[in-house]
Amino acid sequence: MATTSFLYHSLGLVGYRHLSTEYGGGKLTHHVERASGKRNCGECGALRPFITLDGRFQRTFLALPVGRKRQEVVLHGHIQVCSKCGARGREPIPFADGKARFLRALNRLIVDLCGITTMKYVAQYLGVGWDLVKDVFKAHLEKRHRKRKLRQVRYLAVDEFATHKGNRYMTVAVYLETGEILHAHEGKDAAALIPVLQRLKRAGVPLKAVAMDMSDAYSKAVREVYGEEVDVVHDTFHVVALASKAIDDTRKDMVRELQGEERKAIKGTRFLLLKGLESLKESSMSRLMALMELNEPLYKAYLLKEDLRMFWSLPDAEAGKTFLDEWTTEARAVGNRHFMRLADTLNSHRPGLLAYFKHRISTGPLEGLNNKIKVLKRQAYGYRDMAFFKLRLYFLHETSVLMPG
Ligand SMILES: [Zn+2]
Q: 279-291: b or e for each residue (b if 16 or more CB lie within 10 Å)?
A: eeeeeeeebbeeb
**240 & 353 share domain:** yes
H/E element, 80: strand 69-82
* Helices 130-147 and 386-394: angle between axes, nearest 10 degrees: 60
Domain boundary among 70, 95, 120: 95
* Helices 296-308 and 317-334: angle between axes, nearest 10 degrees: 170
**202 & 271 share domain:** no
- pLDDT for 255 equals 87
Q: What angle do CA 393, 396, 398 make, to 5 degrees?
A: 150
**73 & 1 share domain:** yes
pLDDT in tens, 163-172: 876 678 899 9
- Cα of 58 vs centre of ligand 1, distance in Å, is 22
User: Residue 402: is its pLDDT beyond 60?
Assistant: no
- Cα of 86 vs centre of ligand 1, distance in Å, is 6
Domain that holds residue 23: 1-95
181 in a structural domain: yes
- Cα of 50 vs centre of ligand 1, distance in Å, is 8
- Collapsed DSSP state (helix, strand, coil) of residue 261: helix
133 in a structural domain: no
Region of poorest pLDDT, from 92-106, 120-134, 272-286, 293-307? 272-286
Neighbours of ion ligand 1 (CB under 5 A): 41, 43-44, 46, 82, 84-85, 87
177 in a structural domain: yes
Domain boundary among 44, 71, 95: 95
What is the Cα–Cα distance from 79 to 76, expressed in whole angstroms? Answer: 10
What is the Cα–Cα distance from 136 to 125, expressed in whole angstroms? Answer: 15
What is the Cα–Cα distance from 370 to 366, expressed in whole angstroms? Answer: 6
- Cα of 82 vs centre of ligand 1, distance in Å, is 5
- Cα of 52 vs centre of ligand 1, distance in Å, is 11
149 in a structural domain: no
- Cα of 95 vs centre of ligand 1, distance in Å, is 20
- Cα of 197 vs centre of ligand 1, distance in Å, is 51
User: Counting beta carbons within 10 angstroms of the beta carbon of residue 369, is it exposed (0 to 12), middle (13 to 18) or buried (19 or more)?
Assistant: buried
User: Residue 229: is its pLDDT beyond 90?
Assistant: yes
The number of angstroms, rounded, from the C-alpha of 318 to the middle of its chain's C-alpha atoms is: 38
- pLDDT for 405 equals 41
Note the residue count of the chain. 405
302 in a structural domain: yes
What is the Cα–Cα distance from 388 to 379, expressed in whole angstroms? Answer: 12
User: Counting beta carbons within 10 angstroms of the beta carbon of residue 247, is it exposed (0 to 12), middle (13 to 18) or buried (19 or more)?
Assistant: buried
Number of domains within the chain: 3
pTM to 2 decimals? 0.80
- Cα of 79 vs centre of ligand 1, distance in Å, is 13
pLDDT in tens, 266-291: 887 888 888 888 888 888 888 888 88
**Given pLDDT bands bounded at 50, 70 and 90, which one contains residue 230?**
very high
pLDDT in tens, 331-364: 999 999 999 999 999 999 999 999 999 999 988 8
100 in a structural domain: no
Average pLDDT (301-316) is 94
279 in a structural domain: yes
- Cα of 118 vs centre of ligand 1, distance in Å, is 44
**349 & 244 share domain:** yes
What is the Cα–Cα distance from 188 to 219, expressed in whole angstroms? Answer: 12
CA distances from 374 to 162, 164, 365 (A): 10, 11, 15
User: Residue 88: is its pLDDT beyond 70?
Assistant: yes
**287 & 334 share domain:** yes
